[in-house]
């Protein structure tokens, strides 16, 4: 009786060990040598890397901080610019005044008049970009803000690998 129990415990330990080492191999902590490792000084870090898992529809949803305000956005590699919903722009304090730069955008749903703006800072994990071109869409034009190529194009790169997007800052 003791031999089958030992065998089962040995197999379970081997499976758990393999799973943990595989998980560590797939997504290692950027600057850690173990769970208790102290964070490295910013000067010794390499480029920031962020992996984002796709949701059940295959969309990549992120929650960057824009000018100190957290925004729910979908990564959209087909969007030329970062596009904010009217509601998110209002929360950020962006107002379309008389001197606002208007632009006509061609979208999947047709042409839409939007207001151009520049976002002082977008912070996504350890990735920080400043002075990012963006547009504010009219009310109802978007259901969610989009993280487009005015942000993505300034990264060192991004790629999709087996259901996750890897952003390199």
CATH of the domain at 89: 2.40.70.10
**Are 52 and 19 within one domain?**
no
**Are 80 and 109 within one domain?**
yes
Q: Would 79 be classed as within a structural domain?
A: yes
Q: Would 39 be classed as within a structural domain?
A: no
pLDDT confidence of residue 50: 95
Q: What is the mean pLDDT of residues 10-32?
A: 42
Q: What is the mean pLDDT of residues 129-141?
A: 95
Q: Is the pLDDT of residue 42 over 80?
A: no
Q: How confident is the model at residue 33 (pLDDT cuts 50, 70, 90)?
A: very low
**Are 17 and 98 within one domain?**
no
Q: Would 159 be classed as within a structural domain?
A: yes
User: Quick check: 147 and 82 in contact, CB under 8 A?
Assistant: yes
Q: How confident is the model at residue 4 (pLDDT cuts 50, 70, 90)?
A: low
Q: Would 102 be classed as within a structural domain?
A: yes
Q: Would 157 be classed as within a structural domain?
A: yes
Mean pLDDT (the chain, rounded): 80
Could you give the C-alpha distances from 33 to 21, 25, 27, 29, in angstroms and in order? 13, 12, 13, 8
List the single range of 19-33, 69-83, 102-116 with lowest mean pLDDT. Answer: 19-33
| Whole-number Å distance between alpha carbons of 130 and 4 | 61
Q: Is the pLDDT of residue 76 over 80?
A: yes
Q: Would 41 be classed as within a structural domain?
A: no
Q: Would 40 be classed as within a structural domain?
A: no
**Are 51 and 94 within one domain?**
yes
**What domain count does the chain have?**
2
**Are 133 and 164 within one domain?**
yes
**Are 14 and 54 within one domain?**
no
pLDDT confidence of residue 47: 82
List the domain range (segments joined by +) for residue 129.
47-168
Structure-token pair, residue 70: 């957290």
**Are 114 and 158 within one domain?**
yes
Q: Would 38 be classed as within a structural domain?
A: no
Structure-token pair, residue 77: 């590699």
**Are 8 and 52 within one domain?**
no
The secondary structure element, H or E, covering residue 92 is helix 86-92
The more confident residue out of 96 and 15 is: 96
The secondary structure element, H or E, covering residue 17 is helix 2-26
Q: How confident is the model at residue 100 (pLDDT cuts 50, 70, 90)?
A: confident
**Are 27 and 53 within one domain?**
no
The more confident residue out of 4 and 153 is: 153
């Amino acid at each position: 009786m003791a031999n089958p129990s030992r065998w089962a415990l040995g197999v379970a330990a081997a499976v758990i060990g393999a799973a943990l080492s595989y998980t560590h191999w797939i997504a290692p902590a950027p600057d850690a040598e173990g769970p208790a490792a102290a964070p490295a000084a910013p000067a010794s870090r390499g480029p920031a890397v962020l992996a984002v898992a796709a949701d059940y529809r295959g969309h990549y949803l992120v929650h960057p901080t824009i000018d100190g305000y957290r925004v729910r956005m979908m990564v959209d590699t087909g969007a030329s610019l970062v596009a904010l919903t009217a509601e998110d722009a209002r929360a950020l304090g962006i107002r379309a005044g008389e001197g606002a730069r208007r632009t006509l955008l061609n979208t999947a749903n047709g042409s839409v008049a939007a207001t151009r703006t520049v976002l002082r800072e977008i912070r996504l994990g350890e990735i920080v970009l400043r002075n990012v071109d963006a547009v504010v869409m009219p009310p109802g034009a978007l259901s969610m803000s989009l993280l487009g190529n005015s942000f993505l194009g300034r990264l060192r790169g991004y790629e999709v690998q087996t259901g996750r997007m890897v952003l390199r800052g």
